[in-house]
Amino acid sequence: MPETMRVIYSAFRMAMLHWMADPQWVIPNIIAPFVFTTVALTLFKDSTGPFGLYAVLGGGMMGMWGNTIYSSGYAIEFEKWQGTLEEVIAAPSNLMHVITGRAISNALFGLTNMLAVLLIAGLIFRVPLGIADPLLFAVGLILTLLSVSALGLIFASAFVLSRSAQALTNGLETPLYIISGSMFPIALLPFWIHPAAYVLGPTWGIDAVRLATSADYASQSFWAGMNPSFAIFLDLMIMMLITLAYVFAATALFKIVEKRARTTGTMVEA
């Protein structure tokens, strides 16, 4: 196995083992999206239209978001608490590859969060969960997951140098839910927030996933009036371009962060 893949696999395996050793950590990851979905479904219960779609898919997407941000923040924090961050940084393996392995495991947990929200919505709230195009839905979901993970890499690099990763994790979660329009159309947001929404990959991903789920949503999509399959293709292409930009940015940031950590020697006290 090439060295890069071995490092990524080892980091992935270690993250999975950590999770299996203490699975109760899944609760903080999923509780906010579950509660937000429940509140939204209660607020929407007397409304007609694709509201259930917004609440359930939005809640699921928030589950993935929450998991990524939370895991990115706490991955570094745990290393600090356990006194292993110095070893991880000092090891000859590329820090970016270590974090990538963890990000992939976080993405998998994120997917389970989304499935949990969908199951809860279906079983408890009896929200119909029919999917118009299961193949495009799955493709959209997986690519969105990758995009969220790539964004998580950027957060993780910043969190290495911050003593306040835990606070940033709590503080970033809800603003990102708002800006990406996870539970309502971003048209409701003030105009000056729209550019921020458009540079978030998941904004496009959730549009694609909603389009693949229900024909009722087509009129509210970014591409209203266009053939839904082509609209999904456009959404996914834009999201992939943004994801690539995230990966390049994260790579550059990791180099800067690693160099600074080695030069100043203050990463644990940071």
Partner 1 sequence: MNNLKVFVSSAIFSFRAQFDWLNPAMWITMKFVLSLSQMAFFAFVGVFAGASVPFIAIGNALQSLSWNTVFSVINITGHDKWDGTLPLVLATPAHRMPLFIGRAMIHVVDGLISVAISFAFAAFIFGVNFGQADVLALTLTVFLTAFTMAGFGLFIGGLSFFFRNPMVFANIFTFVLLIFCGVNFPVQSLPTVIQPVSYLFPLTYGITAARSAISGGNLIQIAPTLALQLIVGFAAMVVGFLFFRSFENSARKTGKMEAI
Find the binding residues for partner 1 in span 183-242 (CB under 8 A): 183-185, 188-189
The amino acid occupying position 150 is A
Find the binding residues for partner 1 in span 235-254 (CB under 8 A): none
Instruction: Tell the burial category of 49 from Cβ atoms under 10 Å away from its Cβ (0-12, 13-18, 19+).
Output: exposed
Q: Which is nearer to partner 1, 263 or 269 (CB)?
A: 269
Find the binding residues for partner 1 in span 65-124 (CB under 8 A): 81
Choose the binding region for partner 1 from 142-150, 181-189, 227-235, 244-252 (rule: CB under 8 A). Answer: 181-189
Place of tokens 């969908």: 118
- Shortest Cβ 174–partner 1 spacing (Å): 4
- Residue in 24, 192, 219, 263 binding partner 1, rule: CB under 8 A: 24
Place of tokens 């009896």: 126
Tell me: does residue 168 bind partner 1 (CB under 8 A).
yes
Tell me: does residue 178 bind partner 1 (CB under 8 A).
yes
Tell me: does residue 175 bind partner 1 (CB under 8 A).
yes
Q: Which is nearer to partner 1, 73 or 101 (CB)?
A: 73
Tell me: does residue 42 bind partner 1 (CB under 8 A).
yes
Q: Mapped to the 3 state alphabet, what secondary structure does the chain carry?
A: CCHHHHHHHHHHHHHHHHHHHCHHHHHHHHHHHHHHHHHHHHHHCCCCCCHHHHHHHHHHHHHHHHHHHHHHHHHHHHHHHHCCHHHHHHCCCCHHHHHHHHHHHHHHHHHHHHHHHHHHHHHCCCCCCCCCCHHHHHHHHHHHHHHHHHHHHHHHHHHHCCCCHHHHHHHHHHHHHHHCCCCCCHHHCCHHHHHHHHCCHHHHHHHHHHHHHCHHHHHHCCCCCCCHHHHHHHHHHHHHHHHHHHHHHHHHHHHHHHHHHHHHCCCCCC
- Shortest Cβ 208–partner 1 spacing (Å): 20
- Shortest Cβ 29–partner 1 spacing (Å): 9
Q: Which is nearer to partner 1, 26 or 234 (CB)?
A: 26
- Residue in 171, 215, 216, 244 binding partner 1, rule: CB under 8 A: 171
Residue of 104, 7, 106 lying closest to 64 (CA atoms): 106
Tell me: does residue 177 bind partner 1 (CB under 8 A).
yes
- Residue in 9, 10, 19, 25 binding partner 1, rule: CB under 8 A: 25
- Which chain residues interact with partner 1 by CB under 8 A? 22, 24-25, 27-28, 31-32, 35-36, 38-40, 42-45, 47, 51, 54, 81, 163-164, 166-168, 170-171, 174-175, 177-178, 183-185, 188-189
